[in-house]
Amino acid sequence: MTDFNRKEHWENIYQTKSLHEVSWYQPSPFTSLEFINELEISKEAKIIDVGGGDSFLVDQLLKNGYRKVSVLDISAKAIIRAKKRLGNMADKVEWIEADAAEYSPDTQYDFWHDRAAFHFLTQEDEIRHYTQTAYDSINAGGYLLVGTFSTNGPTKCSGIEISQYSESRLVERFSKFNHIKCQIVDHITPSGGVQNFIFCLFQKP
Ligand SMILES: C[S@@+](CC[C@H](N)C(=O)[O-])C[C@H]1O[C@@H](n2cnc3c(N)ncnc32)[C@H](O)[C@@H]1O
């Protein structure tokens, strides 16, 4: 993987595939929204969607009254697509073009969300950077919700290797956090395939 250029890979995906063509397309990010609703996250909460791409989570958060929302993605093209879709509402969002494997925010969040981005990190140093950064960048009492392919899920996504996770592996990776709960969810891709995900919720002590 030494010659692999992660940014180029993702820019190419967003250049060549439409919103509905990508396997992770979800018209409504219902699992994430269920967690957020259940926790009754304050509308004042600072929320970051890491590897948000052009997901509809940001649309839903704005619609539900959240006003301190950031979306981080390695792909400028993904961000441009999401901004275009949101129109004027895009100005209410902080957009961060960065690689989560090396980026460290200079602010603290109350809710850190990641659906299908963390699992692309396969190198130990990058995984450690991510988990430590998440810990350092979440306020005490704040939450982290991470959704990855489970051990029954695919071993690759968009042609590249991913790390599969069981509940115990995710809990081990985010061991500085208090583990609240995990949920197994089948995602149905636009072509009708089934991808088994695990979503785990953690709270920073
Ligand atoms: C499978 S897609 C999921 C997109 C979105 N979270 C969703 O649920 O629809 C993975 C996303 O993570 C982004 N990504 C992959 N690796 C990343 C990294 N190291 N840092 C930031 N973003 C990354 C990709 O550009 C892509 O938008």
- Tens digits of residue pLDDT in 62-119: 999 999 999 999 999 999 999 999 999 999 999 999 999 999 999 999 999 999 999 9
Protein residues with CB under 6 Å of any ligand 1 atom: 6, 10, 24, 26, 51-53, 55, 73-75, 78, 99-101, 115-117, 120, 157
Instruction: Quote the pLDDT of residue 3.
Output: 73
DSSP state, residue 95? E
CA distance 188 to 147: 15
Query: What mean pLDDT comes out for the span 153-164?
Result: 95
Asked if 137 and 105 count as a contact pair (C-beta separation under 8 A), the reply is yes
Nearest CA, atom 11, ligand 1? 51
CA distance 156 to 41: 33
pLDDT of residue 2 exceeding 60, the answer is no
Q: DSSP 3-state helix, strand, coil percentages of the chain (rounded to 5)?
A: 35, 30, 35
Instruction: Quote the pLDDT of residue 45.
Output: 98
What's the 53 CA to ligand 1 centre distance in angstroms?
A: 5
Query: What mean pLDDT comes out for the span 147-155?
Result: 98
CA distances from 110 to 68, 75, 155 (A): 10, 24, 31
Instruction: Quote the pLDDT of residue 1.
Output: 46
Where does the pLDDT of residue 120 fall: very low under 50, low under 70, confident under 90, or very high at 90 and above? very high
Average pLDDT, the chain: 97
